[in-house]
Amino acid sequence: MNESRDYLELTFRSVSCFGDDGRLDAAELDELVAIAERDGRIDANEMRVLKSIIGRIRPDEVDAAMKTRLDALSARLRELGG
């Protein structure tokens, strides 16, 4: 079985998301999570990239919609062992 390369697309897409206006919104986060989940699971590389992306989000950028998505994603990553 070949190793998934979705984490590379995830990394590239996150650069585009942050690069367009310097911040990540809830819809963009949803797009990134969809890339990670499209093969039915989030692997270790995708988890590492998602955690890195979350770490780049500044608290002043988090609105209610983003907080809800971040909380759900963080809980999911914890469940997966990340």
The structure tokens listed for 76 are 């999911």
Higher-scoring residue by pLDDT: 7, 3: 7
Q: What is the pLDDT of residue 22?
A: 87
Range of the domain at 68: 6-79
- Report pLDDT digits (tens) over 43-53: 999 999 999 99
Answer yes or no: is 1 within a domain.
Answer: no
4 has a pLDDT exceeding 90: no
Answer yes or no: is 66 within a domain.
Answer: yes
- Helix 64-79 with 44-55: angle, nearest 10 deg: 150
Answer yes or no: is 67 within a domain.
Answer: yes
2 has a pLDDT exceeding 80: no
Look at the chain and report how many structural domains it folds into: 1
Mean pLDDT of 24-48: 93
Kindly report the pTM of this predicted structure. 0.86
Query: 24: closest CA among 48, 58, 75?
Result: 58
